[in-house]
Structure 1
Amino acid sequence: MTNRVLLWAAFALVHLFVGALGFLLPNEPMGDVYRVYEPWSRAVFSGGGIVGVTQDWVYPHLALLPMLLAHLPGALVGSYTVGWAILVTAVDGVAFAVLIGAGRSRGRLTAAVFWLAAIVALGPVGMYRIDGVSVPLAILGCLWLLRRPGIAGALLAAATWIKIWPAALIGAAVVAVRRRSVIIGAGALVSALILGIVVAAGGADHALGFVSGQTGRGLQVEAPVSAVYLWGALLGADGWTVDYDQGILTFQVTGPLLSVVSALMTPALVLAAAAVVAIGVVKIRRKVPFVRLFPALGLALTTVLIVVNKVGSPQFQTWLFAIVVFGLVVDRRRWMAPGILVLVSAALTQLVYPVLYNGIVSPEIVAVSVLTLRNLALAVLMVWMVVRLCRLPARSIP
């Protein structure tokens, strides 16, 4: 059989397996789909309001589109949750087809195998979250940056209006791509169109609600910065606990100086990202080639978004997949080791959620230790990419 046939067979099996795991593993890893995505989207049809338009929303506005579209396959199979899995699989399939191409490039084949392995390693939380829609769009955007920068910019902008993380890839692209004006223009056009629709629908007061809604959040239990508080709760320190926030539907930590730490995280994230971008600017001025600069800068920025963040949901691991896929396409030898670390981090994340999650919300030594190892892996990856970025030689040959 040809490489393409084998890869497509693997693609089908992986998505069937991971989709089924959502119904088999504990702690409802597909729960967000039917608990929040379905009610939000049904409210649009029933006249119950439009999130992001009639009220502030935690997600950027375009995130509502896949939630609405999932009703189409959902109606055919009689389950919105299964319909969501079908939708994510279909979008993945488009990006997968572009990625493998004719099935002859070793780099593309390696990248395809990595992506499938990453989907399995992370498990159902990667499929049954809105992030699962943004990843294939980001992969397409990365693959088309040089040959179709306008389309790439539009796709990355659309992905950002679904979940904010692809902004890291846009930032890396603006630094590393010569035709950056095309990328900026396409992204601005998509953004203007989305905001124009929101304002025309009467949602001007809520146009940036997803930004303001993040700044006031506490420390989510899985975030790396929460590790000290989580260990304090595990050891029974007075006032160190894990509590459920009904407003944003997530577990957060409590403890001394929490408000100070929480307030410092947003400026720390901005400063860290700005520092990485500054390194990228220095490197592009020294004529470092795109295929060396963009993936290193993109992964450095993406890991900063995860590590220096007071939110740490398990699906954030999907953010790493797109840029590693691109790295493997253009230079599989240099990107094999980072790819392996991403797979390890994803597998540890699946152990944390959904498998051991009860031991996180009611802290137990095994679960907290696994989460700590996962966070250490992410920190190592971030430092590794920043060091790699700093060491990129001027006028190097890819």
Structure 2
Amino acid sequence: MPDRVGGRRPARGIRRFLAGRTAVWLAFALVHAALIALNLFAQGLPLGDVTGVYRIWAENAAAGYARMGIDLPWVYPILAFAPMAASLAFGGAWFGETWLGLVTVLNALTLSVLLGRTRLSRTRRVAAWWWLGFLALLGPIALGRIDAVTVPFAMLGLVWAAGRPRLAAVLLTIGAWIKVWPAALVAALVIALRRRAEVVMIALALSFGILGVSVLAGAGANAIGFIGEQAGRGLQVEAPLAVLWLWAIVAGDPGVHIAYDREILTYQVYGPGVELAAWLTTPLLAVGVVAVLAVGIRAAGRGAPVGRLLPPLALAFVVVLLLGNKVGSPQFVTWLAAPVVLGLVLRPARFAVPALLAAGAAILTHLIYPYWYGWLLVADPAFVLLLTGKVVLLALLFVWAIQRVWQAGKRAALPVDSGSAVPARDRQEGLR
């Protein structure tokens, strides 16, 4: 009996430790140390875009040769240059390490807000542990691209959305001017929040301000050149729609092949029907976004509470961007973290399914990129199957999210007081 009781005490102590902030921060340090090491030393050049492309853009601007987005059209919105320029703080030789340090600091600030200032709630603890696990499963790409800078802005914007909509609008708008995708989260806020007019006014005012400064700096039409640059892309090898042509290569179709586009700096699929498919992605993406908008507006019009509507609506917007994208780069999976974390903070039991599906997409992405990416580029059947599995998981995520948004609009299923959708402690932290 004493041994049994004595055995319970260490187990209880371990559980108590894992439930505290110290364990979460220790896990944060371990995960980020591992991801930094992988970015710097793993095979497949996982930090290649940062040190081989971002660094050159930053150095050219510093030397007065060309400022991307100002002197030349650019594939990114203008604020994407800010973290690239900041990563030159210790010189070009340390650009990669500085970039990784910058992303780690942003993630640390986000985790600090996520954990909150008061006693750590179970829901926030679950969300924090899931996010760290998601980063670990996704691998070095979780830190090694411009998308990694936008995720903290998106996550904080969603976590603060209901309680601090003005601040949320600022954060998400800044994120959208670094990489476009957080604009979809602004749309989710406009639909789900009652103070939607404030969100719209702040997003518009900030956007016009950023555009104005860009024009004054000499950008001209290049300030919005990223729109045309994206529209001119072909079908990238990782794009969901590209799976059809990858299986054609596996089947031995001599008319389909993969080649490197030196202008866009990506591997793309070429063959019969590819150009039409690449063109169709834009209208198909528009149809998907409009469908999500319609279902979200219906739910909001029927009085869906923020805690029930915003997480699945944000997830639906993000996943439709992933499925309808002609690029489909592996780092896009990082976008899933923001809506899933919000869902786990507000309704962890209900968000268990998308949390598992998103984790599965992260694992499959890590298996493909960066270590064995070359096998996908030769359309190896096993890696085409991995990519197909990832697309299936994203499709399941979309189905789950759109169903939950639709259900949020059922009057009979909704309480009159929406406060029950958000834990009381989290309302004090600003979620409500």
Q: TM-score range by the shorter chain?
A: over 0.9
Q: Partner residue of 1:374?
A: 390
Q: Please point out which of 157, 164, 173 is paired with 1:148.
A: 164
Distance 2:383 2:119 in 1: 40
Q: Partner residue of 2:284?
A: 268
Q: Is the 8 A contact 2:162 2:306 kept in 1?
A: no
Distance 1:96 1:183 in 2: 24
Distance 2:139 2:298 in 1: 38
CA offset digits 1:218-261 (Å, max 9, x no partner): 11111110001111122220211111110011011111111211
CA offset digits 1:286-339 (Å, max 9, x no partner): 101111111111101110000112110000001100010011011111012211
Distance 2:29 2:207 in 1: 34
Q: CA deviation at 1:181?
A: 1.2
Q: Partner residue of 2:103?
A: 88
Q: CA deviation at 1:388?
A: 2.0
Q: Please point out which of 263, 278, 299 is paired with 2:315.
A: 299
Pairing 1:70–2:87 present: yes
Q: Partner residue of 1:5?
A: 22
Q: Partner residue of 1:359?
A: 375
1:12-31 residue pairs with structure 2 within 5 A? 12-31=29-48
Q: CA deviation at 1:27?
A: 1.6
Q: Please point out which of 70, 92, 113 is paired with 1:98.
A: 113
Distance 1:382 1:137 in 2: 23
Distance 1:135 1:20 in 2: 21
Q: Please point out which of 199, 214, 227 is paired with 1:183.
A: 199
1:46 partner amino acid: A
2:23 partner amino acid: L
2:346 partner amino acid: V
CA RMSD in angstroms comes to: 1.3
Distance 1:21 1:156 in 2: 29
Q: CA deviation at 1:78?
A: 5.2
Pairing 1:43–2:44 present: no
TM-score, with structure 2 as normaliser: 0.89
The structure that has the greater radius of gyration is 2
Q: Partner residue of 1:288?
A: 304
**Identity of aligned pairs, percent?**
40
Q: Which segments of structure 1 move beyond 6 Å, counting only runs of 4 or more?
A: none
Q: Partner residue of 2:402?
A: 386
Q: Secondary structure at the match of 1:9?
A: helix
1:213-232 residue pairs with structure 2 within 5 A? 213-232=229-248
Distance 2:108 2:87 in 1: 16
1:141 partner amino acid: G
Q: CA deviation at 1:189?
A: 2.0
CA offset digits 1:124-179 (Å, max 9, x no partner): 11201000000011111111112211111000000000111111111111000000
2:85 partner amino acid: L
Q: CA deviation at 1:358?
A: 0.8
Q: Partner residue of 1:396?
A: 414
Q: CA deviation at 1:369?
A: 1.1
Q: Is the 8 A contact 1:151 1:186 kept in 2?
A: no
Q: Secondary structure at the match of 1:346?
A: helix
Q: Please point out which of 51, 70, 77 is paired with 1:60.
A: 77
Q: CA deviation at 1:104?
A: 1.5
Q: Secondary structure at the match of 2:162?
A: coil
CA offset digits 1:268-296 (Å, max 9, x no partner): 10111011111100111110111111111
1:159-174 residue pairs with structure 2 within 5 A? 159-174=175-190
Distance 2:235 2:316 in 1: 22
Q: CA deviation at 1:192?
A: 1.4
1:279 to 1:362, Cα distance in 2 relative to 1, 3 A: same
Q: CA deviation at 1:103?
A: 5.0
Unpaired runs of 5+ in structure 1? none
Q: CA deviation at 1:355?
A: 2.5
Q: CA deviation at 1:209?
A: 0.7
Q: Is the 8 A contact 1:142 1:152 kept in 2?
A: yes
Count residues in correspondence: 396
Q: Is the 8 A contact 1:53 1:198 kept in 2?
A: yes
Distance 2:356 2:59 in 1: 40
1:260 to 1:352, Cα distance in 2 relative to 1, 3 A: same
